[in-house]
Amino acid sequence: MDLKVDGLSHWYDDLEVLRDINLTIPQGEIVCVIGPSGCGKSTLLRLLGGLEVPSKGQVLQVGAPPPDSLNPLTYVFQDFALLPWRSVESNVSLVLERHDLSKEQVEARIADVLNRTRLTDFCKAVPKQLSGGMKQRVAIARALSVNPAVLLMDEPLSALDSQTRELLMGDLIDLWTREQFTSCYITHNLAEAVRLGHKVVVLSRRPGVIREVVEIDAPLVERRVSDSRISSIQQGLWEMMREEAQSADLELARG
Amino acid sequence: MTEKSTRPPGPLSDATDVERPVSFRGGGFVVQPRRLVGPVVFIVLIALWELGSRSGLISALVLPAPTEAFSAFMDLVESGNLQKHLGASLQRLVIGFSAGTVLGLIVGTAIGLSNYARAGVAPLVAAIFPIPKIALLPLFIIWFGIGEESKVATILFGCFFPTVIATYGGIDNVDRTLIRMGQSFGLSHWNIIRKIVLPAALPAILSGMRISAAIAIILLVAAEMIGAEFGIGAYVLLAGNLMSTDQLIAGVTVLSIMGLTVNWLITKAEKTFLSWRN
């Protein structure tokens, strides 16, 4: 299933946040969206998954989601959004409980996703006992448990320290190499974008318009920080964003 | 060199090679348990009181000695009246408190979740909450009669309002990202309320219960002072009318112990249900 954004614009009262966005997220690809802070990246993601209604234009699902997908459009949040009173496995089971699954099916799904995110040993722990990286792995496990057609990730690594971020990025690359998930990945971190994105969409500052779409055809597993092609792309993206970021920084916060 | 080191430590430029430890200045302001202090203060106060009474410094009419109050309490126990008084009081307390809390939870949740309930009911709650429920007791007696109903109604009303306010305050403070997460996974409204909103509001609800339990005990005594045959409040009132201050102190102590017990129960509930916080 692809996700298609068609002529989308969005306002909050009289504040224009996004202007005429056209974008396709093709199946099996990770599309990274970067832009200066306050450019409407997170708003775009909320619109993609139906958590907000666009003021103009629409978001379209192209093709049917896989039949075993319980929640085709699934989010991974920046601040993890784990329930602090539930254990790791219980946080995952929360999103399975409403579906018509037998107890065995639920248990099997939980065991499977915890295994895929290497969390099996921590299934009884509560979020407070976990490090930031582990919390985000729980959130990713929870997202995977419903077999999403598209993973909508809102700066999933931004709340983590840089070593953890590097490790988790490796995990995501491994995961994609195994199962080619589809994803829209919002970030303000250029290094993440060039490591994870098949396509990098650069948004301008508010009102967010698409400035450029950069395709990166190097396979994810072969991308290295030291790779000159990757670093020159990153440099190019930075030059594009620099001016935007500078003027966005000088704007007074509104609302 | 020796001349330098015997000089008192002054500015760096004067004594660059004098070594001395950095003095500690980070003490204080740390809450630490001091288990014995509470009981010791308590025992010392009672001992002083007893001494004052025995030496005649405190007249028996003004304040009876602790031992006299204790023997009044033992009389109460041996006559079998403690059971009657305590039983009647606890029954009123339990019924009034639980009914008030349940209703308060329902109305508070409605205000927390529905814009209409908030616009319509919240101002009403704000208007009625500050009215002392004891002032309404005569009305309750006209409406519900002089029997149990008016007493229970007073306690119920007293517990209802703090619970409503604590509940919707707690719901207002629930992390919105958790609710958005629930919506993004397609959880139903009812499931979001039951599995996300209410557990997240539980700390606020429990601290509201602590307040409403204390209010319940205060109102219990007030209500029992009007037309009750049995009840700790009736016992205290009778003792006061007869000027038997030893019985009065005994009755008041029973009330204090009731309050402590309720407080202990709520602390226990917090430890059980909110263990995820620590």
Q: Given pLDDT bands bounded at 50, 70 and 90, which one contains residue B1?
A: very low
The answer to the question of residue B150 being in a domain is yes
The answer to the question of residue B157 being in a domain is yes
Looking at the structure of chain B, the number of domains it has is 1
| Residue B209: per-residue pLDDT | 92
Question: What are the tens digits of pLDDT across the range B24-60?
Answer: 888 878 888 888 898 999 999 999 999 999 898 888 7
The answer to the question of residue B22 being in a domain is no
Closest CA to B104 of B8, B179, B208, B183: B208
Write the residue in A51, A128, A146 that is nearest to B276 by C-beta: A128
Among A77-91, A168-182, A222-236, which is the least confidently predicted range?
A222-236
The answer to whether the Cβ–Cβ distance between B196 and A126 falls below 8 Å is no
| Residue B168: per-residue pLDDT | 92
The answer to the question of residue B235 being in a domain is yes
Among A196-200, B87-91, B167-171, which is the least confidently predicted range?
A196-200
The answer to the question of residue B60 being in a domain is no
| List of chain B residues whose C-beta atoms are within 8 Å of the C-beta of residue A81 | 175, 177-178, 180-181
* Dist. CA B92–CA B14, nearest whole Å: 78
Q: Given pLDDT bands bounded at 50, 70 and 90, which one contains residue A166?
A: confident
Any idea what the Cα angle at residue A231 is, between residues A229 and A233, rounded to 5°?
A: 70
- Residue A25 C-alpha, separation from nearest chain B C-alpha, in angstroms: 19
Residue B216 has pLDDT above 80, yes or no: yes
| Residue B15: per-residue pLDDT | 62
The answer to the question of residue B251 being in a domain is yes
Q: At what angle do helices B133-144 and B198-224 cross, to 10 degrees?
A: 70
Residue of B nearest to A51 (CA): B184
| Residue B127: per-residue pLDDT | 92
Which of residues 55 through 74 in chain A touch B, CB cutoff 8 A? 71, 73-74
Q: Percent of chain A having pLDDT more than 70?
A: 97
Q: C-alpha dihedral over B197, B200, B204, B205, to 10 degrees?
A: 60
The answer to whether the Cβ–Cβ distance between A77 and B183 falls below 8 Å is no
Please name each of the domains of chain A with its CATH number. 2-65+149-250 (3.40.50.300), 84-148 (no CATH)
Q: Given pLDDT bands bounded at 50, 70 and 90, which one contains residue A252?
A: low
Burial class (CB in 10 A: 0-12, 13-18, 19+), A217: exposed
The answer to whether the Cβ–Cβ distance between A71 and B186 falls below 8 Å is yes
* B190 shares contact with chain A (CB less than 8 Å): no
Average pLDDT over residues A96-125: 87
The answer to whether the Cβ–Cβ distance between A98 and B181 falls below 8 Å is no
The answer to the question of residue B161 being in a domain is yes
Residue of B nearest to A49 (CA): B184
Average pLDDT over residues A33-44: 83
The boundaries of the domain holding residue B225 are 66-273
| List of chain B residues whose C-beta atoms are within 8 Å of the C-beta of residue A95 | 185, 187
Q: C-alpha dihedral over B140, B143, B146, B148, to 10 degrees?
A: -80
The answer to the question of residue B114 being in a domain is yes
Average pLDDT over residues B9-22: 70
Write the residue in A51, A83, A146 that is nearest to B183 by C-beta: A51
The answer to whether the Cβ–Cβ distance between A98 and B187 falls below 8 Å is yes
Q: Percent of chain A having pLDDT more than 90?
A: 9
| Residue B40: per-residue pLDDT | 94
| Residue A251: per-residue pLDDT | 67
Residue of A nearest to B195 (CA): A94
Question: What are the tens digits of pLDDT across the range A84-104?
Answer: 999 998 999 998 888 888 888
The answer to whether the Cβ–Cβ distance between B184 and A49 falls below 8 Å is yes
| Residue B275: per-residue pLDDT | 83
Q: For residue B158, what is the domain's CATH number?
A: 1.10.3720.10
Average pLDDT over residues B239-244: 88
| Residue B120: per-residue pLDDT | 92
Q: Which residues of B233-257 are buried (b: 16+ CB within 10 A; e: fewer)?
A: bbbbbebeeeeebbbbbbbbebbee
- Residue A231 C-alpha, separation from nearest chain B C-alpha, in angstroms: 35
* Dist. CA B139–CA A116, nearest whole Å: 66
Residue B266 has pLDDT above 60, yes or no: yes
* Dist. CA B1–CA B15, nearest whole Å: 10
* Dist. CA B107–CA B110, nearest whole Å: 5
| Residue A68: per-residue pLDDT | 83
Residue A116 has pLDDT above 60, yes or no: yes
Average pLDDT over chain A, rounded to an integer: 85
Q: Which of B177, B180, B181 to mutate to test the interface with A (most CBs of A within 10 A)?
A: B181
The answer to whether the Cβ–Cβ distance between A126 and B276 falls below 8 Å is yes
Average pLDDT over residues B70-84: 90
* A136 shares contact with chain B (CB less than 8 Å): no
* Dist. CA B209–CA B101, nearest whole Å: 8
| Residue A167: per-residue pLDDT | 86
| Residue B90: per-residue pLDDT | 92
Write the residue in A73, A77, A94 that is nearest to B195 by C-beta: A94
Question: What are the tens digits of pLDDT across the range B84-100?
Answer: 999 999 999 999 999 99
| Residue A255: per-residue pLDDT | 42
In this structure, the number of other CB atoms found within 10 A of the CB of residue A254 comes to: 8
